[in-house]
Amino acid sequence: MEAVPQQFAQDAPHAGQAQPTGGDVLPKSAIMLYPAGTTLPPGWQTPWIKAGWVVSACPNPGCLPAVVRGAGRPAAAVPALAERRETDAGKSAVRAHASLGGSSAAASDVDAQSGGLAGSMLRRSDFLAQLSSLRESESRVSVLMAIQLDQAATLDARLDRTAVFALEESMSTRIAAVLEAGDTVTLWLEYGFGVLVQRKTAAEVSDVAARICTSIAAEPFLVGDEALDLSVSIGLALAPSAPCADRAQEWFSTAYAAQGIASRHGGNRPEGVLTREFEPMPAERVLIIREWVADARAGRNVIVEFQPLLPASTQAGELYSVHAKLRDARAPLGGVYRREYLRLARAAGAMIMINRISLFQAFETLEQECRAGRSTRLVVPVELDTLHGMAWRWLVEELRRRPQLRDRLIVELEASRELTEKENLMCIVRLRRFGVRVSLSDQCGDLAQLALWTKFPVDFLRIPYATVAENTDAEFTAATRGFKESGRQLIVDSVSDTGAVSRLAALGIDYLRGRKLAATGARLDYDFSAAF
């Protein structure tokens, strides 16, 4: 068998050139040509592989450039003979070889040689070069797919190299059948592929990924004498938007993070973030939080913590805010709070369950505080949806069951134009009829908005510290005078400057909140007597 590569080297026009080194460079390639519909005998690749060749089967001569791995390198095109008198398959290549190659190894050149064939196969370095050079288009969405066989670990222990190669060839054929002209593919890891697709919309990309999953799972693969039902997990990723040292590797890392999540969810599915609305949050972070949100929707993985609101006046009582945190199982002290998961939880329909867990824990905690003789009050942020339907009926039952806690509970709603609707305004009225106090959280930073909230039947208003810092004392006092004169209380959030505490107290602020003032914790053990 060693004579075969030597003879090929003598005939090939590029044989005298030094062979590049690298994990993705394949200096000796062979392509077995055969008529469409013909079944090659099992193990036909074995003598080639043993002799150091990398072989491909090709039923269509027009696809030759797509299956040559390593643009710019020679390859032998070998016809499958009807009668084989020589058992050494390599001897057939000596007379039947043809030199294929190009002057450029660029991915775009390979695609041009392929005549726009669907699913053009590129070697890894060319594929990475394409990812690095690709520029965003306003009219098309470019998405990298990381495809991995779900059963890879099991098959790896059972199959030899010949069987692995044949299986990968069968998989690539099914994947290519779903793709379009201009899409490119590369082998990536064992039983894995990288696919770059460009479509007009993200929905079209999602459809391609779903059809790839279907094509792999639709029919069993013949591996040896056994028919195996297989499936793939697909990770989807948009190109990195932030500057990075290695754009291609960063893009692949994001796609494989998504693929890992798809695999953990049972496989045979695509997973990924095909929108930039959550940036600058990394796509990997979005995917992880989505997992936690899914657990939260089922009533799992939610931890309730408390943060003291420091009284800025002697008249203010002991007050804590309730924080529902989604736990990170990998880091017991980690996790995410409402501000980070809110949009994802709303999209997943998980906020009603998160609010219910928060309210229930608040009731239980207030029961304990009441038995201990303390007059603690709790602020619980909830969504408007919690005040409608079954969620509202549950809350009403709890309020009827624990009447002694009603005036200790403060329900906080997001200050938005939705509150001006009659139905939502009535929700606030119903809460107050039960004796529950209501707070609004206005994070828009516009002091002019305060005049609107002054008209609402609420007891507290929470605003960010930045709103106070950006205005003069006279401007802030004038904007809040109506709210304060009606006997209601102001809470300033996200206080990052401890030196501003005296000024805030002089402005008539009732409570201050911020990590630099008091941290969030699992217990209500803050010493308010030593606050100032």
pLDDT score for 93: 34
Q: Which of 62-76, 188-202, 408-422 has the lowest mean pLDDT?
A: 62-76
User: How confident is the prediction for the chain on average, in pLDDT?
Assistant: 82
pLDDT tens per residue across span 70-111: 444 444 545 443 333 333 333 333 333 333 333 233 333 333
Determine the average pLDDT of the residues in 510-528: 92
Pairing mode, strands 184-187 and 221-223: unpaired
Mean pLDDT over residues 208-218, rounded?
97
Instruction: Give me the pLDDT at residue 446, please.
Output: 87
Q: Which amino acid is at 54?
A: V
Q: Domain extents for the chain?
A: 1-103, 106-276, 305-322+350-530
CA–CA separation, 315 vs 219, rounded Å?
A: 74
What is the reported pLDDT for 145? 98
What is the pLDDT at residue 44?
63
Report whether 280 contacts 242 (CB < 8 A). yes
- pLDDT of residue 11 exceeding 60: no
* Helix (H) / strand (E) containing 217: helix 202-218
CATH number for the domain running over 106-276: 3.30.70.270
Task: Judge whether residue 115 has pLDDT over 50.
Answer: no
Nearest to 381 by CA among 464, 444, 321, 303: 321
| pLDDT tens digits, 148-200 | 999 999 998 888 888 998 999 999 999 999 999 889 999 988 899 999 999 99
Alpha-helical regions (H) of 29-105? 46-50, 64-67, 89-96
pLDDT per residue as tens digits for the range 447-474? 888 889 999 999 999 999 999 999 999 9
Strand partners, 237: 144, 273
Q: Which two tokens stand for residue 477?
A: 């006092």
pLDDT at 224: 80
CATH superfamily of the domain spanning 305-322+350-530: EAL domain (3.20.20.450)
In Å, how far are 316, 367, 372 from 375, measured between CA atoms?
12, 11, 9
Domains 106-276 and 305-322+350-530 share a fold: no
CA 319 to chain centre: 37
CA atoms of 55 and 49, how far apart (whole Å):
7
Task: Give CA–CA dist 149/313, Å, rounded.
Answer: 63
pLDDT of 364 higher than 60: yes
* pLDDT value at residue 54: 61
Higher pLDDT, 502 or 68: 502
Confidence band, pLDDT 50/70/90 cuts, at residue 430:
very high
CA distances from 471 to 89, 314, 407, 477 (A): 84, 25, 34, 10
Residue 39: per-residue pLDDT? 61
3 state SS of 325: strand
Task: Look at 516 and 30; give whichever has higher pLDDT.
Answer: 516
* Distance (Å, whole) CA 332 – CA 312: 33
Position of tokens 């009807």? 82
Split at pLDDT 50, 70, 90, the class of 209 is very high
Contacts of 72 (CB under 8 A, 6+ apart): 14, 101, 102, 103, 104, 105
Instruction: Please give the distance of CA 257 from its chain centroid, rounded to a whole number.
Output: 8
User: Tens digit of pLDDT for each residue in 221-258?
Assistant: 998 888 999 999 999 999 998 888 899 999 999 999 99
The 10 Å Cβ neighbour count of residue 153 is 9
Q: Stretch 131-153: mean pLDDT, rounded? A: 92
User: In this structure, is the dihedral angle defined by the CA atoms of residues 117, 118, 122 and 126, taken in order, positive or negative?
Assistant: positive
CB 53 within 8 A of CB 90: yes
Beta bridge partners of residue 440, listed in sequence order? 413, 461
Q: Could you tell me where the DSSP H helices lie in 298-385?
A: 338-348, 351-371
pLDDT (mean) for 28-44: 58
Answer yes or no: are the C-beta atoms of 70 and 45 closer than 8 Å.
no
* Residue 185 or residue 20, greater confidence: 185
- The CB density around residue 494, as the number of other CB atoms within 10 Å, is 17
